[in-house]
Copies of this chain bind each other. A is one copy, B any other.
């Protein structure tokens, strides 16, 4: 008999009928003999409806009161799901974040979980009840309601699983698992049976938006086996995300992530002296613009070129800041391009297999795709190319690394 934490997102509980389906699914699992703790989000659309009400009142609403407001969304879902479970003869009890003492810091709207008091939950499990917990929310040391930010329900589920030492944390989503790449771009994309936490982190942060990054980090830190499953199809195995040593047949490459939201800025002919990177990126950071890739090439003639990418929506803002910096520093010019995309190969096997990078570059070159920037980490290689090459690049790499086939090592 295992203890399973199951998390259902907003789409999965988006209507009374869907909540009833979730109840059926939870009960089936329960009937197999497992103990189940369920974490749910607000019904889809509800959080936006509440934020809309607040926006009618204020453009700069107090984060404390916003958390009081939006946390009602999950509270509605936990009550309805318990009613649906009880209606089909499955004992259940609901808890808000505050009730189950999901203690967080006081950073409203983006709080971090510090502790969970699981005494009541354990007592309910022992009494044979399904426990339904509101995701996304907690309470700080003053008793104020906090929220973990969008997608925080995943984190709640993982944190509950860690606190309860659960056997598995299952995240039900609208996809049936993690794929080698986006099937809308490459129809040959294959569902992965297993992937490591590290790979998942790279896949998630690079644009395969299946799981919240913080939840994956948390799961990795506490070694909570995480499974992504479809909430609409039954019987699938989904994708299990776990420690590297548990993944017996590690593939060289697990998947290909990409990001369409990138824009590139270059400041040319900057005097090459210490502190130059800070002088350029300081003002960008001060303007709350997040920088993704950064590339600086070796200097010649005492000047250097400095290139970085930002989210496409902040391209114009970044450009005007950079032009001011360029004037201050006496740089030659500022150039930019917001018609670029990033493609990344991800895989823990990369560590022990040479030649992955060269094979990647060769593949792209054969297709006539010019690489504008390169950045690497231990388990990923990212390239920036013209946006028109997205599909061609992803498909040719998917093919070159045989990702459509089940890996054989």
A31-86 contacts to B, CB under 8 A, are 50, 53-54, 56-58, 61-62, 64-66, 68-69, 71-72, 75-76, 78-80, 82-84, 86
Of the listed stretches A90-98, A295-303, A377-385, chain B binds A90-98
A65 with B53: CB separation less than 8 A: no
Per the bound structure, the CA–CA distance linking A26 and B19 in Å amounts to 40
B57 with A68: CB separation less than 8 A: no
Per the bound structure, the CA–CA distance linking A56 and B20 in Å amounts to 10
Beyond A68-B79, A72-B75, A72-B76, whether A53 also contacts B16 by CB under 8 A is: yes
Max count, chain B CB within 10 A of own CB: residue among A19, A20, A80: A80
A237 within 8 A of B: no
A330 within 8 A of B: no
Beyond A16-B53, A72-B76, A76-B53, whether A83 also contacts B62 by CB under 8 A is: yes
A87 within 8 A of B: yes
Question: Which single residue of chain B is at the shortest CB-CB distance from A132?
Answer: B65
A143 within 8 A of B: yes
A57 with B16: CB separation less than 8 A: yes
A99 within 8 A of B: yes
A83 with B65: CB separation less than 8 A: yes
B76 with A57: CB separation less than 8 A: no
B69 with A86: CB separation less than 8 A: no
A58 with B76: CB separation less than 8 A: no
Which of B66, B76, B82 makes the CB contact (< 8 A) with A79?
A: B66
**Other than the known A68-B94, A69-B80, what 17 A-B pairs have Cβ atoms closer than 8 Å?**
A20-B57, A54-B80, A58-B84, A61-B86, A62-B83, A64-B93, A65-B82, A65-B83, A65-B94, A68-B79, A69-B75, A71-B75, A72-B75, A72-B76, A96-B145, A99-B143, A99-B144
13 A-B pairs, CB-CB below 8 angstroms? A53-B76, A54-B80, A57-B80, A57-B87, A58-B83, A58-B84, A58-B87, A61-B86, A62-B83, A62-B86, A66-B79, A99-B144, A99-B145
Chain A residues in the interface with B (C-beta under 8 A): 16, 19-20, 50, 53-54, 56-58, 61-62, 64-66, 68-69, 71-72, 75-76, 78-80, 82-84, 86-87, 93-94, 96, 98-99, 120, 143-145
